[in-house]
């Protein structure tokens, strides 16, 4: 269609003539409300950003001479972080004479990695960095999957609570009918 006719048609319908593919022969144009198009594309972009998962690195600090109960507590935190889909940076801090025994820290990190192997994997192997030894654990499932799973579990708990309260009300209604 000639350009003049296309412009006339756009004015007639109170729309804009937007060039879609300039390199095509002949160039391809579209009749549309350009302001509405820009608004809708901005809303789609905002929605996409809202659903995006941000990768977070949580940090857990340990000492080589950690008490078994303290170890279990720290391991529980690491498990929770991995279930939420976050990466976990584990730091072993050495002080004084502990610095001459880095194998203690290495063994502790290996033990922790083995304990949480079903939830995460070793993303970066233990490395000595001055007075600290660092290891990074990554989750097996992505943050978005973990968020979806948490929402499903929350909905299931809510439904369970509502079902738990519904039967308690039902006998009272039956008594009212009798």
Average pLDDT, the chain: 86
User: Are 64 and 107 a contacting pair, CB within 8 Å?
Assistant: no
Mean pLDDT of 7-30: 87
Mean pLDDT of 37-54: 85
Residue 167 confidence (pLDDT): 54
Cα gap 148→71, rounded to integer Å: 30
Cα gap 142→82, rounded to integer Å: 10
Mean pLDDT of 148-171: 77
Pick the CATH number of 57-139 from 3.30.110.10, 3.40.50.10490, 3.40.50.11030, 1.10.10.10: 3.30.110.10
- Calculate what percentage of the chain has a pLDDT beyond 90: 40
Backbone angles phi, psi at 120, to 5 degrees: -150, 175
Mean pLDDT of 119-145: 89
Cα gap 108→63, rounded to integer Å: 9
Instruction: Provide the token pair at 10.
Output: 């756009």
Q: Which residues contact residue 74 at a Cβ distance below 8 angstroms, ignoring those fewer than 6 apart?
A: 60, 62, 66
Residue 1 confidence (pLDDT): 82
Range(s) for CATH 3.10.20.80 in the chain?
Answer: 3-50
The CB density around residue 147, as the number of other CB atoms within 10 Å, is: 14
Does the structure show a pLDDT above 90 at 92? yes
pTM of the model: 0.59
The CB density around residue 141, as the number of other CB atoms within 10 Å, is: 15
Residue 82: Cβ-neighbour burial (10 angstroms; 0-12, 13-18, 19+): buried
Lowest mean pLDDT among 69-78, 117-126, 138-147: 138-147
For residue range 11-22, list pLDDT tens digits in order. Answer: 988 888 888 888
Range(s) for CATH 3.30.110.10 in the chain?
Answer: 57-139
Mean pLDDT of 61-88: 92
Mean pLDDT of 157-164: 87
Q: Which residues contact residue 143 at a Cβ distance below 8 angstroms, ignoring those fewer than 6 apart?
A: 53, 54, 55, 56, 84, 85, 86
Q: Give the CATH number of domain 3-50.
A: 3.10.20.80
Backbone angles phi, psi at 167, to 5 degrees: -65, -30
Residue 113 confidence (pLDDT): 93
Residue 178 confidence (pLDDT): 45
């Amino acid at each position: 269609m000639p350009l003049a006719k296309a412009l006339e048609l756009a004015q007639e319908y109170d729309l804009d003539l937007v060039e879609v593919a300039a390199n095509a022969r002949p160039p391809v144009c579209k009749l549309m409300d350009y302001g509405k198009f820009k608004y809708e594309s901005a809303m789609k972009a905002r929605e996409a950003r809202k659903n995006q998962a941000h990768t977070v690195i949580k940090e857990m600090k340990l000492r080589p001479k950690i008490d078994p109960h303290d170890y279990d507590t720290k391991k529980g935190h690491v498990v929770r972080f991995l279930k939420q889909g976050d990466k976990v940076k584990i730091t072993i801090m050495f002080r004084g004479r502990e610095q001459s025994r880095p194998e203690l820290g290495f063994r502790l990190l290996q033990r922790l990695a083995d304990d949480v192997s079903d939830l995460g994997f070793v993303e970066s192997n233990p490395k000595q960095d001055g007075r600290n030894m660092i290891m990074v654990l990554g989750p097996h499932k992505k943050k978005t999957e973990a968020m979806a799973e948490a929402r499903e579990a929350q909905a299931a708990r809510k439904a369970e609570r509502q079902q738990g309260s519904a039967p308690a009300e039902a006998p009272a209604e039956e008594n009212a009918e009798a």
